[in-house]
Amino acid sequence: MRLAGFGAFAAGVTLLPVLFPDNYFVTVVGVSAGLHVILAVGLNLLIGYAGQISLGHAAFFGMGAYASAILTTRHAWPSLLAMAAGLLIAGSIAWLLARPILRLRGHYLAMATLGFGIIVHVVMVQATGWTGGPDGMAGIPPLNLLGWEVDGDRRWYGVVSAAALLTIWLSLNIVDSRVGRALRAVRGSEFAAQMMGIDAAGAKTQAFVVSALFAAFAGSLFAHQQAFVSPDSFSLMVSVDLVIMVVLGGMASTFGAAFGAIALTLLNEGLVVFEDYEMLIHGALLMIVMIFLPQGLFVGLSQVGRRLSAVFYCQTEKR
């Protein structure tokens, strides 16, 4: 089932640009959807599986982006090395932060991660010498994969979808591993998990670091793809949007998170034409989903589908 889902997803991703080679919604929106998939799948490990909220995830996304931006433009580092540096920075900060911050629960954890996100955002705005301040940094060189320059929409589509598929595959494997089971146990009851001999703090730290790494990875790709970064892209609203993606798609489901990311990206892109009503429609849709499909769109819809087919199956049986 898991492999079938992954296969279908991969096939869809590969088929789209073949069917619509120069479609804006595939090669441009598709790329940002892909980046959101990486972010949401990573965050889902933390929120969905480990049951820990993070309202500051855009901070890690921003660290990856700014590391790539600063190191490649100002210090002429090769882009892969800069990406590695970004991963290292985000990963170590997440690791240092994890122990103290993940001791908190519920609202307190939400507040702490929120504060962290805001601090990082303030640094991006104020450290003008490094980050270019509120106006951001332009002219970031294209991503260079060992001599192959990722330039142009279709190449970006290829790279980002490959990266997104890789993260989905990684996440599926983590979830079904010992670590994944430990995480789910921690989410169920931290106390019970500890009684079973699970290192709860260690499991939570791992989830936090891995999701930070995913975010920094997406950030690095984002910086090269946009060729421009500014603090706006890593604000509190972005963190909230990421949580919405995970919740919208369905928590504790890797495909759910990916689906939520794609759905929200397409929604935002589609709503742009409504200008003044954009936020209204956005909010209303979220409310409707949360009321009628509280498990999230993907999980909810697949349950509805299952129920429908069960009904259908019963009827054919009767005949």
Partner 1 sequence: MKSKVWKTILASTLLLAGVQPAGAADPIKLGSFLAVTGPASFLGDPELKTLQMLVEEINAKGGVKGRKIELVHYDTGGKAQDAVGFVKRLIRNDQVDILVGGTTSGDTLAVIPEVEKAGIPLVSLAGAIEIVEPVKEWVFKTAHTDRMAAAKIFEDLRKLGLTKVALIGGDGGFDKSGHEQLLKLAPDYGISIIADESYGNKDTDMTAQLTKIRASDAQAVINFGFGQAPAIVTKNMKQLGIDLPLYQSHGVASKTFIELAGEAAEGVRLPAAALVVAEQLPDTDPQKPVLLDYKKRFEAKYGPVSTFGGHAYDGLMIVVAAIERAGGPDKAKVRDEIEKTHGFIGTAGVFNMGPEDHMGLNLDAFKMVEIRGGAWKIVN
Give the interface with partner 1 as residue ranges (CB under 8 A): 1, 4-5, 8-9, 12, 16, 19-20, 22-28, 32, 133-136, 138-139, 153, 226-230, 232-233, 255, 259, 262, 266, 269, 272, 275, 301-302, 305-306, 309
Complex with partner 1: residue 1 or 291, whichever CB lies closer: 1
Sign of CA pseudo-dihedral 168, 265, 139, 119: negative
Residue 80 Cβ vs partner 1, minimum distance, rounded to whole Å: 22
Please report how close the Cβ of residue 116 comes to partner 1 at its closest, in angstroms.
Answer: 21
Closer residue to partner 1, CB minimum distance, 7 or 188: 7
Q: Alpha helices of 75-105 — where are they, by DSSP H?
A: 79-101
- Smaller CB separation from partner 1, 16 or 290: 16
Q: How far is the CB of 253 from partner 1 (least distance, A)?
A: 10
> Tell me, what DSSP letter sits at residue 49?
I
In the complex with partner 1, the residue whose CB is nearer, 104 or 293, is 293
**Residues facing 148 on adjacent strands:** 145
* Residue 112 or 215 with smaller CB distance to partner 1: 215
CB of 293 to partner 1, least distance (A): 13
In contact, 5 and 258? CB cutoff 8 Å: no
Q: Which token pair is 116?
A: 């962290």
Give 196 or 237: the residue with its C-beta nearer to partner 1.
237
In sequence order, what are the residues at sequence separation of 6 or more whose Cβ sits closer than 8 angstroms to the Cβ of residue 194?
200
What is residue 141's DSSP assignment?
P
Question: Could you give the angle at the alpha carbon of 294 between the alpha carbons of 56 and 260, nearest 5°?
Answer: 55
**C-alpha triplet 225, 8, 171: angle, nearest 5°:** 60
Nearer residue to partner 1 within complex by CB, 49 or 255? 255
Measured from the Cβ of residue 22, the count of other Cβ atoms closer than 10 Å reads 9
Q: How far is the CB of 168 from partner 1 (least distance, A)?
A: 13
- CA within 13 Å, CB half, 4: 1
Closest to partner 1 by CB, 18 or 291: 18
| Minimum distance of partner 1 from residue 286's CB (angstroms) | 19
Task: Give the residue from 145, 125, 114, 119 showing the smallest Cα distance to 66.
Answer: 125
Q: Is 108 exposed, middle or buried (0-12, 13-18, 19+ CB in 10 A)?
A: exposed
User: Helix or strand or coil: residue 128?
Assistant: helix
Nearer to partner 1 among residue 104 and residue 150 (C-beta)? 150
CB of 29 to partner 1, least distance (A): 8
H/E stretch holding 61: helix 57-74
CB of 180 to partner 1, least distance (A): 18
Six token digits for residue 141: 């060189």
Residue 95 CB-density burial (10 A; 0-12 exposed, 13-18 middle, 19+ buried):
middle
Q: How far is the CB of 282 from partner 1 (least distance, A)?
A: 14
